[in-house]
Amino acid sequence: MQNPSEFKPESNKNPTIPKGDYTSYDIDLDEGVEVIGEVTANGEVNLYILDQDNLNSLDVGEEFWSETGEEAVEKGTLRFTATEKGKWFLIVENADTKDVSVTVNIRKARSNTAPA
């Protein structure tokens, strides 16, 4: 049986991301809950965790700020603990010159470093 404090809302998704595009995963978090996003790709990708405003900026090609991120990786893990309740987005952006297939695994768990 799975631990109720940890679940996988978008687990093991295997999309193919066209060159110059990205895919996103919605993640609802309560304050103090950590999300762990693990991504493996067959080409270079950029990984970000964004809020809605920064996702909107990404959509229109403007500068954006991420909570955490890695760029030009074929395998990466992002960890983010929410400082407040809200919706966040795990972004997997194709940074390669060809279409890229990815495997995405997302987990959520109460952080051990959350404020009491």
Q: What is the pLDDT of residue 11?
A: 47
Domains of the chain: 16-110 (2.60.120.680)
Average pLDDT of the residues of the chain: 87
Nearest 5°: phi and psi at 30? -90, 160
Of the CA atoms within 13 Å of residue 108, those in its CB half-sphere come to 20
The three-class DSSP label of residue 72 is strand
The three-class DSSP label of residue 59 is helix
Q: Average pLDDT for consecutive 10-residue bins of the chain (116 residues)?
A: 40 80 95 96 97 95 95 97 95 96 92 54
Q: What is the pLDDT of residue 5?
A: 40
Q: What is the pLDDT of residue 3?
A: 39
